[in-house]
Amino acid sequence: MIATNLSPLSAAPGLVTPSALDPADRFRGRALRPPRGLYIPQGIPSSVRFGDRLPPKGGHTVVQRLGLAYEQKVQDVLREIYGDLFFCNVPILYEDRRGVHRCIPDGVLRISSTSIVIIEIKLRHTERAWWQLERLYLPVIRSMIGSEPLVYRVEICRSYDPDEKFGAHKLVTSLHKLPQDVGVIQWKI
């Protein structure tokens, strides 16, 4: 009798397994779908403008309340450091093929006259932050300001798991040295 290993974790000789690939290659072939409940603009956003201020939001679950508390701490510190150069929870209205929509980045920081940073704050590093920064806020803000200033995107999170890989992102330590991809700053405050 011949013993055969039929475990799904074993591979026949000569076959390329996902673990044998470069980690970045594992996600290139993946169908990109936004997380549930996140609306991505259809086509190029137009009529982009600032909206009305919103009432303070409150979380429905314990985790949401913890996330909002963390977001508030980070915004308070950034406002203290950057003053009038940092704008938090700015509602932006835009139109696309389906009508008028609103997006609200957690923060927009003007670092210099030639560069701004879009900030998304999360308790835990998530795929949703990449989608918001790369596919929602970037096209909307690009339509608003044009191509002159450089637009960087950064996710600030308290908990970072390097095994959570989706989209191109890079772990960084400063808002002043950001990559062209989405930057992720782990900040435990």
pLDDT at 176 over 90: no
Domain of 63 in residue numbering reads as 48-186
Q: Looking at residue 155, what DSSP letter applies? A: E
Whether 113 is in a domain gets the answer: yes
User: How far apart (Å, rounded) are the C-alpha atoms in residues 22 and 168?
Assistant: 13
Print the SS3 string covering 88-110: ECCCEEEEECCEEEEECCCEEEE
What are the helix (H) ranges across 51-148? 62-82, 127-131, 138-145
Whether 154 is in a domain gets the answer: yes
pLDDT tens across 2-33, in order?
444 433 333 434 433 344 344 444 444 444 68
User: How far apart (Å, rounded) are the C-alpha atoms in residues 71 and 64?
Assistant: 10
pLDDT tens across 113-170, in order?
889 999 999 999 988 999 999 999 999 999 998 877 899 999 999 998 877 777 778 8
Whether 39 is in a domain gets the answer: no
pLDDT tens across 82-110, in order?
999 999 999 999 999 999 999 999 999 99
What's the rounded mean pLDDT across residues 53-77?
88
pLDDT of residue 7: 37
Whether 123 is in a domain gets the answer: yes
Whether 17 is in a domain gets the answer: no
CATH number of the structural domain spanning residue 173: 3.40.1350
Whether 43 is in a domain gets the answer: no
User: How far apart (Å, rounded) are the C-alpha atoms in residues 129 and 153?
Assistant: 10
Let me know: does 122 contact 133? Beta carbons within 8 Å.
Answer: no
Q: Which tokens sit at 151?
A: 């637009």
If one compares 60 and 25, the residue with the highest pLDDT of the two is: 60
Whether 156 is in a domain gets the answer: yes
Query: What is the count of structural domains for the chain?
Result: 1
β-pair partners for 92: 50, 103
Whether 1 is in a domain gets the answer: no
